Every structure is written in structure tokens, then in C-alpha cells.
Structure 1
Amino acid sequence: MGPVVRRSSLRSLEVMDQLKELNKLLTAKEFQMRMEGIMLLTDHCRNNPQFVSLNIIQIFDDFTLRLQDSNKKVNQYALESVVSMIPILRDGLHPVMVSMVTVVTDNLNSKNSGIYSAAVKVLETLITHLDNVLLLQTFASRVRFTSGRAMQDITQHLSVLVTSVYPRKPQAVERHVLPILWYFLSNMIGNGVLPGRSGNVRTVVCKLAKTLHKEMGPTLLDHAASQPQHVIKNLQDLLVVSSWKAIRLSGMTCPW
């Protein structure tokens, strides 16, 4: 066995040992050991990010569980740790982005203020450092599977992503976000309540509609024309439309 092969084998064994150690700590019964596992993963991200990126799926299979840990201290610490990992790993997180966003957004309905705040920070950090086109699709796919504060927060983040993505990839917004707007406008009753979804979404839907109109202009109304009449009317009410040709937004607030 030559020296190059020997070094490669040693590195492979070292990687296996590191992965085993992470797995042992992150899946331990004692919460203190799980905290140590999170700390060790954070250290790996800082000192050897390539190791984490190359083994991201295997590592996050264990780590994602800690993002919804039954122990609130572990749960919050894991979320806070992700915030520091994201700027380092960046695109290396793409293979686990959907699963991570799913778990993080579930935390948005937590009654624990520390966990909720940490989850919000994770989403904001993702938007800052990761591909917003991929995030837009991922966030949009989560809306219908959430409720309450989580649904409101995700929709609010969608508005931010629309502003970022539409100038570069208008078709992505049309494909993934417009169906969400039609869903809201089709199902809201009264002053903005979604039946059975435990929450009033009028403020965030109003913001989403206005953001879409700001970016898309008359194209938004063109797309809306194929929707049922009550959806068109709700959109008109949101945008304070007197006609399809004259839109008076200046100085006006959402009528809800």
C-alpha cells in the first residue's frame, strides 16, 4: 500500500470516527450529551466546514432531531447554533434545506418565547445567506401545512422573498407564490380568518398581495382574471381597486 493510499485510508477512518462521535452525542439519552453534540457540530463547522458539507445528510439526519428536541434547552440551543452554521455552510445546506425549514417552521408555534425567537432568526439568516429562489419554493410549500403564528410568519417571509426573487426569476414567483395568494383569497372569510386554521391572516395576506402587485404590476391582475369571481373581488378589495385599469394605492391602507 503506497503512502497516498495509506493517508487516504487514515482520513477515511478519521471521518468515520468523527461521524460516529457526532451520532453518539446527538442521539444520546442525556440532554447534556446532546448539548455537547450540538457544540461539537458547531466546532466542526468553524474548523472543518468541508467535513460537515461532505457529510451533511448523515449529520443532519441526527441534528435535525435536536431542532425539535423534547428538552426546551436543547431545542433552543440547536436553533441558535444553526444561526451560526448557516453563513459558514451556505450552499452546503441545500441537500437538507427542505427538512430543516420544515422543522424550524414547526417551532414558530412554540409557546416558548426563546424557541420562537430562535426559529425566526434561523429563517431570517437563511434568507440572508442562501439561494432565495430555492427558499421561496420551500417556504411556499410549507404555508398550507401550517397554522396560527407559523402560517403568518412564513407568509410574511414570502413577501420578503418575492421582492428578492421576482426581478431575477419572475416565473418562480408566478409558479410558487401566486397559488398561495389564490388559496388565501379563496378560503378567507369575514375579516381575514381561515376556517379551522386558528388565526387571522389578513395583515400578512394584505402585505403579500401588495408586494406582488408592486413587483408584478398589471401582470398580477392578468393572472387573477382566470380565478373565481370571489377571489378577484377579494384581490380588488385588498389593492383598493376601483377598476382593472385604475389602482389607487397611494396613501391608503389595507381596508380590512
Structure 2
Amino acid sequence: MSKLNILVVDDARFIRERVTSMVREAFPDFNVLAVENGMQARQAMQQKRYDLILCDWEMPEMSGLEVLQWTRAQDSYKATPFLMVTSRGEREYVLKAIQAGVNDYLGKPFTREQLVQKMVKALDKRQQLSPQQQARASAMLAADQQKKPAAAAPKTQAKPKGLAQLRNSQQTFRCAIKDLNLREIKVVIKNEGAFPQVLEQVVVDIEQLSGDSVARINGFVTAVQATEQKLESAYVDVRVSFMDEDPDKLSHLSKYIASVR
């Protein structure tokens, strides 16, 4: 029972590797397979039995919702725990996932603590965790909780190239866009004592100038720098490298870039 099989599905390599690492750190006796799209996920589930599926929503060719619908249509997977992992948190998306039979929903970006909590909750319901696995997970969650920083709610000023939100696993930073291209974005946030960390996974919500749509791009922080060379600098620059390879997101981003050039 301890050798559970976990399937990770995400088209962003950085996130696949990060989730795989988190799962193996928390549950070293689990077998973990990571695939990059829904078609590969289907093939993997047809070749081997998986006990828990961690699946991204927004993927090319076959979305996470379609993977979930296909999974629930298979007799051998009707009751298998399925966690949807996505940057989309709108109520309509959550409802669609619930209607399709999702077990839980994990919003990007997330911490190891949040991921492990969701996994433990899903596997405990089916009594798939041994006492040793439960004890290890509990100890890891307790350690992560002690490291958790205090949350803040900074705000920022509007800038000519538009507004955005920078979300890490703890909080949301309102920010102004200083520059961007298809590979990275540079934003400025107000200094209120809390900043994203270098190499931290984040989601950048880029608001269209018209206000009628938002591009949600997964990325990681590559630099954090004060805008002034003094301790009380009012603003901080944050540079984020994009990880998404979704053609729809890149097309959306390209149109936005063209509109502000």
C-alpha cells in the first residue's frame, strides 16, 4: 500500500519538476511520473494504474478538464483522487471541475505545505496512507508552517504600460508593468515590507487595457531590486521569467505587448 503511483500532468516543465520534487520530498516511497500534456496522461493511465492525479487545467491539445472527464469515464478511475492544479480561480471554472468529478482544487502558485495538505486529504479519504507516511507528512507540514512568513497587502501606482497582479503562494501584489516581452516581465511594487523571493514560483495576471480580459502567465522570479539606492526605497522592481508554453497564452500576451508598444 505504501508504493502508491502518482501522476503529474503539466505543460510547463518547471512546474512538473517542482511538483515532482515536492511529492518525492514528502513521500519518498511513492512512484511519481510527470507528463507534459493530456494525451500523454491518457496513455500513461492506460498502461499503469495511478492512485492520485495532479493535473494542470490550461494545456494545449487536451485541457485538464478534458483529462478529468475522460478519467471519470473509465471504470478503473471513477473514484481515483484527482486534484486540479491551475492559475484559474474563477467560480465558473471551479464549478465546471466539481461537476466533472474533481476531488479538490489547488491554485497556482502554491507551497509544498499546500500541496501536501491536499494530497493527504485526498488519500486519507481512501485510507491509502500508512501511519508512517502520515507521520512524515505531518512533520513536514509542521516544519513548513514554522517557516511561513507574515502576509502583507501592498498596493502600487498605475504605470503607462498597464497594471498586473503578481501572485505567490502567500499573497497578491498589485503592480505596474515597466517592461515585458514574450520571455519575461519587469514590474514595480510598493515597498510595504514583503516581497517575492528569487526563484519563487509566481503567476502574473496581466490586465488588458480595456479591462475585459486577463492573461495569466506562470513564471518564476529572477530578480528583486530596490528602485532607489537607499534603505527606505518606496518601490521595488521585480523581474519574472515566463514558463508557459501554451499557444493561447502566448498569443494573448503578444497582442497585449503590441497594444502597449
The interval holding the TM-score normalised by the smaller chain is under 0.3
Q: Which has the higher contact order (CA 8 A, sep 6+)?
A: 2
Query: If each structure's strand is expressed as a fraction of its own residues, which one has the higher value?
Result: 2
Give TM-score, length-normalised by structure 1: 0.21
Give TM-score, length-normalised by structure 2: 0.21
